[in-house]
Structure 1
Amino acid sequence: MDLASRTIRLRYAHDRRIYGTGIGVAIVDTGICQHPDFLKNCNRKIYFKDFIHQRTLMYDDCGHGTHVAGIIGGSGYASGGKYIGVAPNCNLIMAKTLNYKGDGNISDVLIALDWIVKHKEELGIRIVNLSFGMGNKEISQDGRNLINAVENVWDSGIVVVAAAGNGGPNLGSVAVPGSSKKIITVGASDDNIEVDLMGNRARNYSGRGPTFECIKKPDIVAPASNIMSCALARSYGADKFRALNNNHFSSAAKDGRERFGNFYTEKSGTSMATPIVSGAIALLLSIKPNLTPKEVKIKIRDSCVNIGEPQSKQGWGLLDIENLLKA
């Protein structure tokens, strides 16, 4: 996150002690492990709900959710602050719906989204992060059910942020539920870099619009390639998964692991760009708590930086946190 932080001008927020305090971010993913960056040097709460095995203690048998959570709200404790998340004081609500492979059932995701709406006041949930996706062609009934569910979450007053998917570079490759017209869909600003995705070398992977229903997407882009964040402890098991990410270690990642032990790993994909935007919105809502989801989306639109790519790739442009907090 150290390099990505510069790209999105995160320092502007942290220099002003804007850390997302009090804002609840629900992460529908593979869970979260007991990493030092979630347990130490933190001024926040973590809630865990397991929709697969109904376990009560927080865990992650994959690693994807832990990495995503670290991008949003890791304290950076194990790295001396080097790999601090975007909103390190936000509250994390972890909804485990994906298994050790990063796969899941739509039914579990739908139940989790309904649970989030029902508990939004109790847990202070303002944002839902969805770093996963499914087929982007003609939408199946499952896909329509998922889109209806995320739009219901949005209509309840919660900002929904979803990945554009890694199906690029063809037009019309944005994944469901990122194809929803209402929610905020995030693509990669740096997918020109060749990375490993699910064991394959890829570049120009970010999902492109328009959607199957001719909706302009994505809405915004953020760094997605070789993002360093919290790693799964070895004792938590599997390190291979398929939730819009990879488990590739570049030389930079290896250097980080040598310096900070096994606490951090590097991953790529729009799964990593999405929590960067979710964290930025947590910063925004912590200083402007009365904003509605629609108003948040407008501020995102008005604060992005044009990076000279087609609208089908960059949407409104690159996330810029200084612009966003000033908007």
Structure 2
Amino acid sequence: MNLSHKIVHAAFPPAYTGKSIGVAVLDTGIYPHPDFLYPSNRIAIFKDFLHHRNSCYDDNGHGTHVCGIIGGSGHMSDGRYAGMAPECHLIVGKVLDSNGNGSVRHILQAIRWIIDIRLVYNIRILNISVGSENTDVDEEKSILVQCVNEAWDSGIVVVAAAGNNGPRRMSVTSPGISRKVITVGSSDDQKTIYYNGVRINNYSGRGPTRRLVPKPDIVAPGSNIISCSPPFFSEQGGYAGRSGTSMSTPIVSGAAALLLSKEPDMTNEEVKKCIQMTATDLHLPRNQQGFGLLNVEKMLKNSHRYHQPD
């Protein structure tokens, strides 16, 4: 996370840490890493939709990495690899297996679970660093898009990855094709990375959607992001580097948690607009950069402009 801190963590007040904000993560699970347990346990609830195990686990490492980007405390690294919102609490659904694969059925079950428990755990944000090629003729009628739209309509800020199928047009994956959700691309995808063992660059999914909706909405760093890792995947004492829009997405989710800790009455529409309108223009095509690079400092300084109190 050190690279992300340099770019998006410029100088926001330390008072905003995501405290009391619930962030849901649907992924490969979560390893009980010290950065989630100290100085206090912030794994609020874990549910395994694949094997129905009760204790937290992650047999891939992807979900733990994503959770660390959102809300790791940096305990094991003296704060060097702290996440975006180090005092938020995490609600984790395991929907992907040890290979990072999953079924739409389990993802749908998990999204509906999140909707059902959102008030109990103050779930304000749902991070989905999961994507699949959409095969529906009318993509907006796909069951996955409809389900994330239900989550959005319930008041949750849904943040989804643009996917790693770029640079061709219309390569944003589902559910990032939903016009409602905040779809996140990578701001540094020109760097060469290894994804599923394949050497790629210019990987970030590009819009528009088949309905010609411009996507992504925002970009954030996504190449060699260092975050929490289970011991068997760690490269450097409990941490590892990973790349892809899966890493960009939780940076934006964590930023949304900071914003909501400052402006707890903001609606999800206001959160989306604030993130978009305060982004830094990279002068790239709209369907590559969205509104630009996430700018946390500007977002927090100008949040009052995008919030209409009741």
Matched, 1:6 2:6: yes
Q: Percent identity between the aligned chains?
A: 50
Contact 2:140–2:146 (8 Å) recurs in 1:
no
SS across alignment from 1:83: coil
Q: CA deviation at 1:11?
A: 4.4
**How well do the aligned residues superpose, as a CA RMSD in angstroms?**
1.7
The match for 1:233 among 218, 221, 231 is 231
The match for 2:90 among 74, 87, 92 is 92
C-alpha distance in structure 1 between counterparts of 2:175 and 2:145, whole Å: 5
In the other structure, the counterpart of 2:268 is 293
In the other structure, the counterpart of 1:24 is 22
Contact 1:143–1:176 (8 Å) recurs in 2:
no
Matched, 1:171 2:160: no
Once the two structures are superposed, the pairs formed by residues 36-75 of structure 1 within 5 Å of their partners are: 36-42=34-40, 44-75=42-73
CA deviations over 1:164-209 (Å, ceiling 9, x no partner): 0000000110000000000000000000111111111111000000
Contact 1:86–1:280 (8 Å) recurs in 2:
yes
Contact 1:67–1:231 (8 Å) recurs in 2:
yes
CA deviations over 1:272-304 (Å, ceiling 9, x no partner): 000000000000001101111111111011110
In the other structure, the counterpart of 1:266 is 241
> Which structure 1 segments of 5+ residues have no match?
240-252
SS across alignment from 2:11: helix
**Structure 1 182/3 Cα, relative in aligned 2: closer, same or farther at 3 Å?**
same
Contact 2:188–2:222 (8 Å) recurs in 1:
yes
SS across alignment from 1:113: helix
Contact 2:217–2:290 (8 Å) recurs in 1:
yes
Matched, 1:310 2:309: no
Letter aligned with residue 214 of structure 2? K
SS across alignment from 2:120: helix
Please report the TM-score for the alignment, with normalisation by the length of structure 1.
0.89
C-alpha distance in structure 2 between counterparts of 1:73 and 1:304, whole Å: 22
Worse-superposed segment, 142-151 or 37-46: 37-46
C-alpha distance in structure 2 between counterparts of 1:17 and 1:110, whole Å: 35
Number of matched residues?
A: 302
Letter aligned with residue 17 of structure 1? A
User: Which stretches of structure 1, 4 residues or more, deviate above 6 A after TM superposition?
Assistant: 140-143
